[in-house]
């Protein structure tokens, strides 16, 4: 029996991974694709958003599995292994598997799991795709000032005191077979060129950097690398190679907000922008109930930038609730809820 190819979609919070996977499912060219979504938090925002694809209504053709008990690189054995074993029982019914990691997951420990006997004979990592937010980097929101960071690294090649977020970003680049640069349309040309130049210096030789708007990219570019990444890990260095295990920043956590309240989008975004100024928040995503609207609103935010769109009608038996996941440092649910519902 053939090995089923697995594509790992990694990238920082809010880079556009779910948008990319959703577009791929809607333009699958007849491929039977299973999706594993690694949520950070208990409210299944990404999995629900993927299921709202018109082509995703049949779970037999497009099974979508949410792994929400922690990031994949920390729960590989407990959660990922049994899930993969169940999918492999159906591999003759599937053409490929997509794994969308959380924004906090390291790609290399996940890929290493494909060396395990329970998986190795049935699946191979076809390629690792890293999604990078051009606008965020240009504004210094994720890795700081590009020129200062580059000068610091050039001056000290043995630098060991990078923040966990910077290390994570570097590891995602080092493991990539392809890097997709999103949101370039929101960046002035000189800034975009500076970001591209810096990224190319950081990428391993031969790794392509490709612009991608709203996840709209050909499946032929994302699939079919035939890289057998699990056998090539020695050529994909990581900050954590010398460690038996790794630890995340314990101060990074998520808060789930589930309320019956309905919001006007502009009012909610204004409150969230004020909240981001007061708290160290990396990412906000979720679904919003809007007064007098039959459609569900999808809201996503990074820093001061928020996007939203209506994705589908509310189902008759579905509670019209607002569900948000807020990811950041030292977050308190009561504080965030009070900021969203100041009248309560």
pLDDT of residue 52: 56
Q: Tell me the domains of the chain and their CATH numbers.
A: 4-235 (3.40.50.300), 252-340 (3.30.1220.10)
pLDDT of residue 19: 87
- Give dist(CA 299, CA 309) in Å, integer: 7
Count of Cβ atoms closer than 10 Å to residue 320 Cβ: 16
Between 189-202 and 164-174, two packed helices, what is the crossing angle to 10 degrees?
Answer: 80
Does the pTM surpass 0.85? The reply is no
- What are the residues whose beta carbons fall under 8 Å from the beta carbon of 38, sequence distance 6 or more? 67, 68, 71, 72, 99, 100, 101, 102, 105
pLDDT of 154 above 60? no
- Give dist(CA 270, CA 290) in Å, integer: 15
Using alpha carbons only, give the angle 82, 56, 298 rounded to the nearest 5 degrees.
Answer: 100
Instruction: Lowest mean pLDDT of 114-123, 138-147, 209-218, name the range.
Output: 138-147
> What percentage of the chain has pLDDT greater than the value 70?
76
Give me the count of residues in the chain.
Answer: 344
> What percentage of the chain has pLDDT greater than the value 90?
27
**SS3 state of residue 14:** coil
Distances (CA, A) of 106 to 68, 139, 177, 196, 212: 16, 24, 15, 23, 22
296-300 mean pLDDT? 88
């Amino acid at each position: 029996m053939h090995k089923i190819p697995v594509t790992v979609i990694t990238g920082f919070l809010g880079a556009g991974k779910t948008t990319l996977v959703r577009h791929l499912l809607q333009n699958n060219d007849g491929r039977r694709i299973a999706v594993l979504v690694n949520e950070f938090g208990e409210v299944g925002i990404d999995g629900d958003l993927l299921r709202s694809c018109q082509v995703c209504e049949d779970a037999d053709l497009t099974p979508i599995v949410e792994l929400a008990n922690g990031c994949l690189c920390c729960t590989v054995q407990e959660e990922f292994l049994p899930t993969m074993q169940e999918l492999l029982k159906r591999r003759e019914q599937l053409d490929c598997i997509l794994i969308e990691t959380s924004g906090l997951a390291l790609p290399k420990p996940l890929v290493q799991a494909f060396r395990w006997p329970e998986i190795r004979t049935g699946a191979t990592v076809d390629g690792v795709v890293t999604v990078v937010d051009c606008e965020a980097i240009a504004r210094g929101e994720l890795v700081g000032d590009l020129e200062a960071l580059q000068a610091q690294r050039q001056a000290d090649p043995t630098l060991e005191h990078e923040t966990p977020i910077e290390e994570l970003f570097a590891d995602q680049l080092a493991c990539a077979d392809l890097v997709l640069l999103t949101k370039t349309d929101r960046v002035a040309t000189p800034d975009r060129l500076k970001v591209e130049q810096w990224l190319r210096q950081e990428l391993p030789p031969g790794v392509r950097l490709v612009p991608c708007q709203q996840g709209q990219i050909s499946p032929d570019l994302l699939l079919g690398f035939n890289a057998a990444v699990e056998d090539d890990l020695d050529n994909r260095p990581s900050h954590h190679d010398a460690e038996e295990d790794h630890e995340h920043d314990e101060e990074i956590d998520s808060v789930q907000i589930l309320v019956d309240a309905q919001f006007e989008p502009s009012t909610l975004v204004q409150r969230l922008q004020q909240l981001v100024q007061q708290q160290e928040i990396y990412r906000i995503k979720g679904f919003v109930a809007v007064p007098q609207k039959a459609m569900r609103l999808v809201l996503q935010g990074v820093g001061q930038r928020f996007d939203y769109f209506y994705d589908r009608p509310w189902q008759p038996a579905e509670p019209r609730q607002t569900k948000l996941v807020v990811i950041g440092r030292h977050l308190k649910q009561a504080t965030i809820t009070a900021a969203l519902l100041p009248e309560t």
